[in-house]
Structure 1
Amino acid sequence: MDRQDHDAYDDPEAPFIPTLATKPRPTKGIKFSPKTICAALAAISLLGIGFLLLHQPSSYIETQNPPSYFAAFNSQSYLQGPPTQRFRDNLRNDTKYITSWTSAGWTNDVMTYGNLIYLALITERIPIIAKFLSSHIDPSEPPFPFGEVFDVPRLSQAIGTPLLEWQEVKDSESQVLDDIGCWSVWESVERYKEDPRPLINYLNTDISWTRTPDWVKLTPPDEIDDHASFWSLATLGFPKARSDNLGLPNRPSPQHHVSLPPDDHLLCFDLLYFIGAQRPWEWESDYSPAWRFVGQHMRWNASIERLADTHARRAMNVPVGEPTPPYISVHIRHGDFRDQCHGLALDQCFASLPIIARRVSEVQEELRTQKGIEVTHVIMTSDELDPEWWSEVRALGWTWVDYVKERTEEIYGKWYPVFLDAIIQSNGAGFVGTRGSTMSNLALRRVQTWHDGPTRIVQWGWPGADNH
């Protein structure tokens, strides 16, 4: 789901290296002979050379050996114990929590959880993160744990707060139907919808929804837009605003038919994708608080990042034992964007490969002049299905990961091509993406922030859209 069609299913952080501070031992009164000093200096030199030889980087952008992170927070310290049959039995009375769910494409769901975690920070609550749902891939594919895609200990340490996953709270096999009251943001901001944002309820919860007050809307009431305000929603996590709005329309839970006020112990909302601080579509802006305080710290789980590096190396035919070379990643989205061409011929609507190649050349030139790096490898990621288009990509000397040949879905599951594409995009020395694609926008943010890489966005939608 991209910004132009929000009802469709879709789809600078320096590494923190912990150091142990130790007090230097006192040296007063200790004298060393010149011979001893020379011997010590020689030993230090040899050790330094050995260290450098043993620690040569395995690639331009290191993915093989990410820094180790001690868990800043033991999640079990914020629960009663192991997962329970009823989620409420596992919540501590001296702790407040917040949760929400997803119902869009995976990239948008990543942004939704970024928004949830930022809302947790400003309400001083502990976020509980549900698994990713596969509605946009294959509904039969099981939900995928957040912590198997993202490095949760590293994220937790970077933002200074613990994060919990739902499978830590409630037993995934539990058959107990839990009652809870939650806030429905969707009913307040989406003028053409009269129901909460639909959820795929694998957590076995029976939710009674209370509509949020109209003033949570970020934009003026007469403006057609679905965004709510971070701080307006945050007020509902505090006693005064909550109590003042308990009389708003409430929908009984669908199974037990009980009407419950929004829970205060576990603050919950139906959907937190359309949230902003100052204006809509804020993840596209350099000041975006959700990106700055959360999103940039959502680094990849080391195992899945190594897998992506392996796929990228094979696509570039890198010999075993040689480092992964720098490459430019490209993401060109076509797919359902065809619907936004409004009858215009596709070759007039979408940017041609020569136009995309011009943008790639600009990124190559910027890397050459500003970083002294000569980057010849280009990896394309796209949902385009036309074999002729891919032949033209090959004719440009570019490559891509052949997930069919790799048997990626067969070996790892249907989620993995989506994950690996995103990781490969994020680890480009530079990046070229598609206007309006949330996947391109996140890749651009990651390359800029994580690798200080040059980026470009290709315009499209009318003839000559990307002329410059």
Structure 2
Amino acid sequence: MLRSNRVTWLAGLTVFVAFGTLLYATGVLDSSSYLHGRLNGHGNVIVDSSLGSPNSTSAPEITPHCVTPVEEWNSSRFLKGPPTKLFRENLLENRSYITCWAIAGFTNQFMGYANMIYLGFLSDRIPIIPPFGPGPHISRSAGLVPFGRIFNLTRARIELHKPLLEWSDVKDLPSPTSIQSPPDSEREPLGCFSTRPDFDPHPNRVREIVDHLQLDIAYSRVPTQVRLHPSNNREDFLVFPNLAPYIFPRRPRPPPNGHFQFMEASPLGQKLPPDNHMACFDYLYYITSSSDAFEWERSWAPAWVQVGKYLDFTDDLVEIVEGYLRRVFGSSDSILPFIAVHIRRGDFGRNCDKGSDKCFIPLATFKKKVDVMISDLLESKNIHIEKVIIMSDEKNLNFWEEVKEIGWVHFNHKEEDTLEKYGEWYLPIIDIVAQSMATGFVGTASSTFSLVSARRVEDWNGGPIVLVSRSGN
């Protein structure tokens, strides 16, 4: 199975650092042969010639130490200490931070958080990532799931050469499975921006996440000038380079008319302007860097290219999903190359006439795309594909009978006891991780679930991708 080259790079770096440490500890390398330097963010040794030769009498006495990339970007270096009762107690005075909340499905929340991280890079602010919150596809009783439980933030920090914090690094929080609202006395006041269109009088409150973080938030509007089409009061999209100057920590662009337009007081009645130390937003899904609104559909989308593609899944999660794949493919050893298919039905049915499924893309259309991909992989890369796995939210049993007839397989989460073993969140997450391991991917156009999986297969595995539209293209 094709895997990311980044994993190989990190494994080599880990071995290099560990081997050097072992040599030093056993005396093979002593202080006379030690390089006075450190590892930079790329894993290369930087030698500081100002320290002089190890044998020079003028050389200062130092304790040899390698600052590994893991240490360099460790979260503890960007906070005062361990999690505190109030988040403000833990923020460094000489650093600025950024955060946001997210709603909708798992993939849309992921995209919103990746957009927030990218905005943090543009505005010289340290991202603080909240957990994923329940939404239209996950029940409230499922609670929240921490970002770092799904994505390998240690690896991302090293590859991005940037700090990435989670709220649990900053503040003492209740269990993510808890859905109880905190008492008013435990809520921390904060002024944030709302990105809602100008015609909308209310912000996105995102209750589950904000309650978990124990915050009491007042909202102001982002300036109209940061929108993709400022003259349209229903415009959802913001523009990254237009927004970043307003939240840049040093000499930011002044707000229009000298202040940001106040939108709504906090639930406890606080009327706070946007916070300078912790820039925060109710929702950052609708933001672009160009004239293209849904920029994530473009291969060059910066929030994907510079952030999203570096957010690998955790090793533990990959190991779990590899087990699922072995079982569904009937393999006890390595996982052979396979194609993943995602067919979005579910809420797309809202566009269908009652009792009709004619607006859905036929299964036969997806099969044609898969057959072409199998042929192309054999011809161009000499990769022989025998296995195809499908993920879909279709409930119709006739559909799944058709799937069985053409020889494709799918995870049976009921037989796997996924819900009982791992919880509700892992039903879509296991599917997503499995898709990312595919040699090729065929998905559904206009589905972000398909879109981001396609990006992973293309950029992580070098695999071909096709997103099928209703026209069959």
The answer to whether the superposition gives a TM-score over 0.5 is yes
Root-mean-square deviation (Å): 2.1
Q: Per-residue deviation at 1:344?
A: 8.6
Q: Per-residue deviation at 1:254?
A: 2.8
**Number of residue pairs aligned between Structure 1 and Structure 2:** 401
Residues 36-51 of structure 1 mapped to structure 2, 5 A cutoff: none
Whether contact under 8 Å (2:194, 2:220) holds in the other structure is: yes
The answer to whether residue 356 in structure 2 is matched with residue 335 in structure 1 is no
Determine which of 264, 274, 280 is the counterpart of 1:268.
Answer: 280
- Which residue does the alignment assign to 1:360? 370
Residues 127-146 of structure 1 mapped to structure 2, 5 A cutoff: 127-136=127-136, 137-146=138-147
Assess, with a 3 A threshold, how the Cα gap between structure 1 residues 324 and 113 changes in structure 2: closer, same or farther: same
The answer to whether residue 449 in structure 2 is matched with residue 449 in structure 1 is no
Q: Per-residue deviation at 1:135?
A: 2.1
- Which residue does the alignment assign to 1:308? 321
Whether contact under 8 Å (1:187, 1:196) holds in the other structure is: no
- Which residue does the alignment assign to 1:285? 298
Higher RCO (Cα < 8 Å, 6 or more apart): 1
- Which residue does the alignment assign to 1:124? 124
How far apart, CA to CA, are the structure 1 residues paired with 2:4 and 2:374? 23
Determine which of 201, 205, 222 is the counterpart of 1:198.
Answer: 205
How far apart, CA to CA, are the structure 1 residues paired with 2:411 and 2:4? 28
Residues 173-184 of structure 1 mapped to structure 2, 5 A cutoff: 173=174, 176-184=186-194
Residues 79-228 of structure 1 mapped to structure 2, 5 A cutoff: 79-136=79-136, 137-173=138-174, 176-188=186-198, 191=199, 193-200=200-207, 201=210, 202-219=212-229, 221-222=231-232, 225-228=235-238
Whether contact under 8 Å (2:223, 2:256) holds in the other structure is: no
Q: What is the aligned-residue identity percentage?
A: 34
The answer to whether residue 261 in structure 2 is matched with residue 249 in structure 1 is yes
The answer to whether residue 441 in structure 2 is matched with residue 431 in structure 1 is yes
How far apart, CA to CA, are the structure 2 residues paired with 1:441 and 1:99? 24
Q: Per-residue deviation at 1:232?
A: 1.6
Q: Per-residue deviation at 1:242?
A: 4.3
Assess, with a 3 A threshold, how the Cα gap between structure 1 residues 242 and 413 changes in structure 2: closer, same or farther: farther
Amino acid at match of 2:339: I
Whether contact under 8 Å (2:221, 2:262) holds in the other structure is: yes
Q: Deviations over 1:248-292 (max 9, x none)?
A: 331453333121111111111111000100121111101101011
Whether contact under 8 Å (2:260, 2:273) holds in the other structure is: no
Q: Per-residue deviation at 1:345?
A: 3.0
Where do 5+ consecutive residues of structure 1 fail to align?
1-11, 23-67
Q: Give the secondary structure class of the aligned counterpart of 2:217.
A: strand
How far apart, CA to CA, are the structure 1 residues paired with 2:370 and 2:72? 40
Q: Give the secondary structure class of the aligned counterpart of 2:374.
A: helix
Q: Per-residue deviation at 1:228?
A: 0.5
Whether contact under 8 Å (1:213, 1:245) holds in the other structure is: no
The answer to whether residue 337 in structure 2 is matched with residue 326 in structure 1 is yes
Whether contact under 8 Å (1:126, 1:163) holds in the other structure is: yes
Q: Per-residue deviation at 1:312?
A: 1.3
Q: Give the secondary structure class of the aligned counterpart of 2:281.
A: strand
Where do 5+ consecutive residues of structure 2 fail to align?
21-67, 175-181
- Which residue does the alignment assign to 1:416? 426
